[in-house]
Amino acid sequence: MKHNREFEIAWQGLKSGVSVFDYYLDDKFFTDNDVERDFKDLDVQLTLRFDKKNNFFLCHFDIDGSVSVPCDRCGEEFKLRLWDEFDLMIKLTGEEGEAGDDDADVVFIPRSETVIDTREWIYEFLMLSIPLQRVHPDKAEGEPGCDPEVLKLLNKLSGQEEERKEIWKGLEAFKKEDKRK
The domain in which residue 156 lies consists of 147-181
Q: Do 164 and 112 lie in a common domain?
A: no
- Asked whether residue 124 is assigned to any structural domain, the reply reads yes
Q: Do 113 and 171 lie in a common domain?
A: no
pTM above 0.75, yes or no: no
Q: Do 34 and 86 lie in a common domain?
A: yes
Nearest to 3 by CA among 32, 36, 42: 32
Q: How far is CA 60 from CA 42, 134, 141, 143, in A?
A: 21, 26, 37, 37
Stretch (H or E) spanning 177: helix 148-180
- Encode pLDDT of 33-78 as tens digits: 666 677 888 899 999 999 998 889 999 999 999 999 988 888 888 8
Q: Do 93 and 18 lie in a common domain?
A: yes
- Asked whether residue 134 is assigned to any structural domain, the reply reads no
pLDDT of residue 63: 94
Q: Do 78 and 162 lie in a common domain?
A: no
Total domains present in the chain: 2
Q: Do 27 and 108 lie in a common domain?
A: yes
Q: Are 126 and 44 in contact (CB under 8 A)?
A: yes
Q: Do 27 and 57 lie in a common domain?
A: yes
Q: CA 84 to CA 7: how far, in whole Å? A: 19
Phi, psi of 152, deg, nearest 5: -60, -45
SS3 of 40-53: the string is EEEEEEEEEEEEEC
